[in-house]
Amino acid sequence: MPLSAPDYQFLKNLVYKDSAIVLGDDHAYLLEARLGPLAQLEGVADVTALVRVLQKAADPALRRRVVETMTTNETSFFRDIQPFEVLKNTILPELVKKRATERSLRIWSGAASTGQEACSLAMTLLEHQRDVALGWDVQILGTDLSSRVVERAKSGLYSQLEVNRGLPAPMLMKHFTRSGVQWQTSSAVQRLVQYRVMNLAAAWPLMPQFDIIFLRNVLIYFDMDTRRAIFTRLRNCLRKDGVLFIGGAESIREADDAFECVRAGSTHYYRHKTQPTAGIG
């Protein structure tokens, strides 16, 4: 049975309340496509029946499964390659000079999904700043709303379809080993990355000061107030000369004027407005 307007509204409200993700009026198809398999798993006929179950009794675990199912996990290694090129060519060499005394780097992949972005950051360091990656105190934190995808990220295991997407063959050979029909990230990559569940729209745990933040293709799902709250927190956990990457199609000027945009080739990143002009970039 097609989803009625009130049932769609119910699910839309549920997803918003638990994750601050805003589903547009044209997302009914997406919701049905994604929740259909979940309805089957839950042993009910369709998404409408799933709504009835949700309405009948409070079931936090089922609510979480609904929200996690609606979380977009589209990702690939070196997704939209340009930010990684800018990191390699400009940002990392500058940062490494600046941090030569403290010998520490903190990097955050804030919508990590199954970990391809965090692993790509680790591989970028291992390929182009090997001494730093192996000798400094480097931590790449990957966080995601979904405990399911965080568990997958922690496993460091990827399917053939996943390693086919975006990962150059020499990198596959260097940073992965075969594990049956899957590929396992190398111990060097695993040492650099760690993962944790985190809801960007809820209260944040105590976060370190990051040198680099990747928060790409997630802000578009939040409304203006949520974005504004997120940027206030970002401002507090990005080091004064740190850099922030958001998705190429996302703009934060509307949400916060605390950052300035730096064009870098065909991509861009953000940094604190107050930093000296001789800073990175």
Partner 1 sequence: MLALVVDDSRAMRSIIKNIIKTEGFTFVEAGHGLEALAVLETGEVPDLALVDWNMPEMNGLEFVQAVRANERFNTMKILMVTTETEFEYMSRALEAGANEYLMKPFDRAALRGKLEMIGLIAPTEIQDNE
Closer residue to partner 1, CB minimum distance, 210 or 245? 245
d(CA 142, CA 196): 6
Q: Please select the residue that binds partner 1; options are 247, 256, 261, 268, rule is CB under 8 A.
A: 247
Using an 8 Å Cβ cutoff, are 171 and 88 in contact? no
Please report how close the Cβ of residue 166 comes to partner 1 at its closest, in angstroms.
Answer: 5
159 forms part of the interface with partner 1 (CB under 8 A): no
Q: Please select the residue that binds partner 1; options are 220, 237, 258, 261, rule is CB under 8 A.
A: 220
CA-based angle 130:132:133, to the nearest 5? Answer: 65
The closest alpha carbon to 154, from 122, 125, 113, belongs to 113
Closer residue to partner 1, CB minimum distance, 119 or 132? 119
Q: How close are the terminal C-alpha atoms of the chain, in Å?
A: 54
Amino acid type, 149:
V
| Binding residues for partner 1 restricted to 72-101, rule: CB under 8 A | 72, 74, 76, 79-82
Closer residue to partner 1, CB minimum distance, 36 or 279? 36
**Residue 264, token pair as written in the block:** 């870098």
Please report how close the Cβ of residue 49 comes to partner 1 at its closest, in angstroms.
Answer: 25
**Residue 10, token pair as written in the block:** 């119910």
Q: Residue numbers of the site for partner 1 (CB under 8 A)?
A: 30, 72, 74, 76, 79-82, 160-161, 163-166, 168-170, 172-173, 178, 217, 220, 247-249
